[in-house]
Every structure is written in C-alpha cells, then in structure tokens.
Chain A
C-alpha cells in the first residue's frame, strides 16, 4: 500500500511542473484569448458577447486572404524543408561515418546558437540593394545597377526554410538512425531499384519522423513573425503581422484575439487535413513506440 502511495506521490510531483506549465501558460491564456475574441465593445467599458469579430474577419477579404496566404506559404516552406532536410538527414544517419556523424549533427545545430533576429539580419546584409550579392553581381557585370533581393515572396520562403529546416532534420535523423541497414540491403537484394527501395522501404520507415518534422515546421512557420517581417517587409502579408497590428497598433484586442484563435484553429485544421490526405494518423506515426 505504502509503495503505491509513494508511487502516486512521485508521479504527482514529477507531473506538477508540466501540468502547471500547460495550465497556466497554454490553456489559461488561450481561454482568455477565446473569451476576448467573443467580446464586442459597444461603448467605453461596455461590452456585449457574440460572433461579431468573426463575422468582421470573414467580411474583410484582406484578412482571410492573408490567413490563406500564410497557410499556403507555410505548406510550401514545409515541403521545401522536407525536400532539403531529408537528404541531409539521410546522409547523417545512414551514409556518414560513425565518427563524423556527431560533428555533422552538431553543425546542423550551430545556427541555433545565434538568435533568430541576428540570422534574419544576416540575410539582410547579404540580400539588400547594397548587400553582398548585389555588389558582386554588379562587379562581374551581370547587372548594371543595384538589385533589391529583399522584400519578395521567394526571399521570405527561403529565409523561413533556412530557419526551420533544423526542426525537420532532427526528428528525421533520429528515425532514420533507428533503421537497420539490412532493411535497405534486403530491399536491393530482392530486386528493388534505388527508387523502389526509397519509396517502399525508406519513406514508410521514416514516416513518423516525416510527420513529426512536418507538423513542427508547419506550426513554427505559420506562427513565425520575425523572418517574414524582416525579409518580406510590408509586402510579406503574414498573418501574425495582422495579429500584432490589431493588438499593438490599433489596440483592438477583440479583433487580435479573434485572429489568434482563427490562426490556431486553421493551422490545426491544416495539420489534420494533411494527416488525412496522406493516410497517416498521430497514433501510427508520432506516438509510435
């Protein structure tokens, strides 16, 4: 009896910080945001409740277009991060020498040493009109005047891929690392071409890592603020920018909260849809033991 009591107590103690964190920093603020989003200001200090904020969102195309655009570009960033990250992860986990593996993995993590902000400014230094690329192009005579490489969608996507690709590589390396090389060899031995082995053995095996990586990357991208603002400027039209504007510039908390809720609901919906379309489920991939 005493033993199970101690067991329970240690479970509670170990679980408490996590539970507090989730409750106080995630659930409570979200409830608050949800509450504010349903509030309407009718006069100074006077409020009514209803869905007016949501209706306002839907009736203003610029808002939902921005949300759709953010989601669409985040999907693009996720796909590109997967395309870039998979070969890197495969090389680290399967091809590289045991000894160089740790070093390569560390090299992937090094950019995290530097803050997001500084990294974004790094891109600015390289890509602005007076930046490295522009002056180099002028020097070799490919262009006659300075070129502005910042403030377009391609730059934003590239910058975001650069920022988040790590979060794709890490889960992929750990799943691929657990894969027995003899599975790949058996795939060849039984007559599979490179493509067959990749499609029918490597990808299905790596699926938990792919799903985990994609979810993390998509959520991070859709919720990112710094990179789109700094690299995309005024044209970036990122949804987080709208939220910031509502909260800070316009001091319209009701509307900002509504946008926040919509971003959460919509990105969750995209993740659900993505799992559905690819025939995966969280239980069979991320939560797989």
Chain B
C-alpha cells in the first residue's frame, strides 16, 4: 500500500518546464527524500503535492485517492516550511491547536492532544511559551508537532534544516529520523544536502532539471549510480573527462584527458568506443601505493586534515587534482607534500558515464 503516488506529474510555467513527467510511489511509513540542486523543481513538486500549485498534467494520489480536485486546506498532507512559518502572534500551544480548532474539535480534546504531542516531541509543558522564546531546534520540533497533531497521511518537509547552524543540523538529522519512527508517518523530505538525504531516508530520488535521475535506497545511489549526475551529486567523487577506448563485458577502458588510462565499470549503455566519457572515482576507494588494478603517478600537493574524512591532494602527471581518502592521519603514515607517489584503485570502483553531445 502506498501513501503517496505521483504519476507522470508535470508543471510548466509558460515555456519553462519546472517538473517534467515525474512518477514515484512512497510506501506507507517510509522516509522518502527528494534530493537535487536548487532550481531543479523539487520545491515546485512539493507545492503541487501540498496543493499550492496545480499540475499541468499527471496525477497525485494519497492512499490511492486522487487529490487533484481537493483544495490545499482539505488535503491529508501537512507541510513543515523552510522557515517553519510558526505563527508569531500565537504561543506554542495555540500554534499546535490551530489545526485542531480549524477542524472544530472541542476544547478538552484539543488541550489533551496538544499536551500529548508536546510530550512526544520532547517539549512537555512549553504550551504557554512564546515562539520567540524557543531555540532553533525547539522551533523545528514545534513545527513538526503542529503538523503531526493532525495525524496526516504524509508529512512534507521543505529543507527545514537549512536555517540551522551546523552542529544543530547534525543533531536534528538524527532527531528527525527518530521522530519519523515514533510517529510511523510517511515523510517526504526535500533537500539539496546529500548527507541529510542519505542519512535519514529509506529511499531517495535524485532530481535534476525537473526530472528524476534515479530512485533508490541511499546505499544503492551511492554505490550504483545510474547516471553521471547522480555519481557526481551524491557523495564526493573525483571526476575526470576522457574518451572510451574500448568497451567489453560491461567494462570500459578510458583514456583520461591529459594522459593516463584506467579501466572502469560502464555506467550506462550509451558508451561507445571513441565517445566522450566522464570517469568517477570516490576518494575513499583510492589508495596510495602501487599494486592496484588501475595506477597513476603523481605528486602530493597538500594534506587536508578533517578527522575521519581527511584527504590527500595529489596532482597527477596529467594535470588533474585527485582527492585521496585517508581515514587515519595521525603521523603513522609518512606522506609529505612534494613526494612522488603512485595512487591506485580496483576496476570495479571506477565508473564511467557517457557525456551527451
């Protein structure tokens, strides 16, 4: 059973196509993310689901029933806005009670439900507080509580962590995931931050220029990207332009522009010998030292220390700069800038995609 289904949904503004024939299903109780750069149409998509935009064509079904003719205030989807949109003229309790009062529930029920939902988001007894007295993370939770108290079928979240500072954002990611578990409601989460999407979601759709590039579980997207865009957008990756020399058995031999050759998995079917390709290799699969299936020579340019995701920057003989993942940088590995090194990775860790045009 699917809580939310979109079927070849499109939205055009004049000649501009914001959302181009997008289809997806969100299973009940799952955390689904739409990941894409700004301007890719993800906000338009969400606004169509919430009912603030009318699709040019296609259908939106919630629990199997089309909601296209349902006005936004009658749809069983609630939305957490980018800047939360808590009502400044109401206190916390009134903010949460707003939706219940719109439904015309009686006072005793409202008071009980508000207290219960505040308990569930971990802010009991804050009903009398003013919104301005809350911290960023607390506002976030109130915004979610305000929606969840109405028991929606789907909760839409429009980059709600964007306004928070880094530390809080890290904590809220985990908290959001826990809240979703606790409420067992379908979450549709929109973000341009791939780490948010990968960390929290059961499924992620990568969106680019109005279309879905790939839908899949986070591991799947990370390890088996289907397009060059996904390979480049999800996670960090080294990316080199080159040319396919030969294709056989799902493997491509790539001549990297500027010199050097490597064998990689063929990412798509359109790769043909002689055609332009892009080669993607993630930093963490590259190791320093000879003996791998693909090897290239270069000079260490600098060491970038960042705890567990530290990097070594290597300038290759062909002029490209390579990021090499180095999880341990405690001095036990003796690499210094200026040293000549060999870097290598296995054939199944590189991926080549054809370049259009």
A interface list, Cβ under 8 A from B = 180, 182-183, 185-193, 196, 200-201, 204-205, 207
Contact = CB atoms under 8 A, between A and B. Distances in A.
B88 A192 contact: no
Interface stretch (B78-86, B118-126, B214-222, B345-353): B78-86
A185 B98 contact: no
Given A190-B98, A190-B150, A182 B83 contact: yes
A185 B85 CA distance: 9
B105 to A, nearest CB: 11
Nearest to B99: A190
B82 A182 contact: yes
Contacts of B90: 200
Interface string B68-103: 000111100111011101011110000000110011
A20 B146 CA distance: 53
B186 to A, nearest CB: 16
Contact of B146 (A180, A188, A190, A204): A190
B79 A186 contact: yes
B197 to A, nearest CB: 22
Contacts of A191: 73-74, 99, 102-103, 150
B85 A180 contact: yes
Contact of A190 (B51, B52, B102): B102
B147 interface: yes
Secondary structure at chain B's binding surface: helix, strand, loop or mixed?
Answer: mixed
B50 interface: yes
B208 to A, nearest CB: 25
B102 A196 contact: yes
A190 B78 contact: yes
Minimum-distance CB pairs A-B, first 10: A190-B99, A186-B85, A191-B102, A204-B89, A182-B85, A182-B81, A188-B73, A188-B72, A192-B102, A189-B79
Nearest to A183: B85
A200 B98 contact: yes
Nearest to A181: B85
Nearest to A201: B87
A56 B148 CA distance: 67
Contacts, number: 62
A192 B81 contact: no
Nearest to A196: B102
Nearest to B143: A186
Nearest to B104: A191
Nearest to B146: A190
B88 A205 contact: yes
12 contacts: A180-B85, A187-B87, A188-B52, A188-B71, A189-B51, A189-B73, A189-B78, A189-B79, A190-B73, A190-B147, A191-B102, A204-B89
Contacts of B99: 190-192
Interface in B55-74: 71-74
A186 B158 CA distance: 12
Interface of B: 50-52, 71-74, 77-79, 81-83, 85, 87-90, 98-99, 102-103, 146-147, 150
Given A189-B79, A191-B73, 12 more contacts: A182-B83, A185-B50, A185-B81, A190-B78, A190-B146, A190-B147, A192-B73, A192-B98, A193-B102, A204-B89, A205-B88, A205-B89
Nearest to A190: B99
Candidate in A182, A183, A186, A189 with the most chain B CB atoms within 10 angstroms: A189
Contacts of A187: 87, 98
A216 B238 CA distance: 65
B273 to A, nearest CB: 52
Contacts of A193: 73, 102
Contacts of B98: 187, 190, 192, 200
Nearest to B86: A186
B109 to A, nearest CB: 15
A188 B74 CA distance: 8
A189 B50 contact: yes
Contacts of B146: 190
A198 to B, nearest CB: 13
B83 A180 contact: yes
A236 to B, nearest CB: 40
A183 B90 CA distance: 12
A205 B131 CA distance: 14
A196 B98 CA distance: 10
A187 B150 CA distance: 13
Contacts of B85: 180, 182-183, 185-186
A193 B104 CA distance: 12
A204 B102 CA distance: 17
B97 to A, nearest CB: 10
A180 B74 CA distance: 22
Candidate in B71, B77, B90, B99 with the most chain A CB atoms within 10 angstroms: B99
Nearest to B94: A200
A81 B78 CA distance: 37
A116 B132 CA distance: 45
Contacts of A207: 89
Contacts of B79: 185-186, 189
Given A182-B83, A201-B87, A189 B72 contact: yes
A42 B78 CA distance: 78
Contacts of B51: 188-189
Contacts of A192: 73, 98-99, 102
Contacts of B72: 185, 188-189
Contacts of A205: 88-89
B142 to A, nearest CB: 12
A196 B77 CA distance: 19
A249 to B, nearest CB: 51
A167 B90 CA distance: 28
A205 B88 CA distance: 8
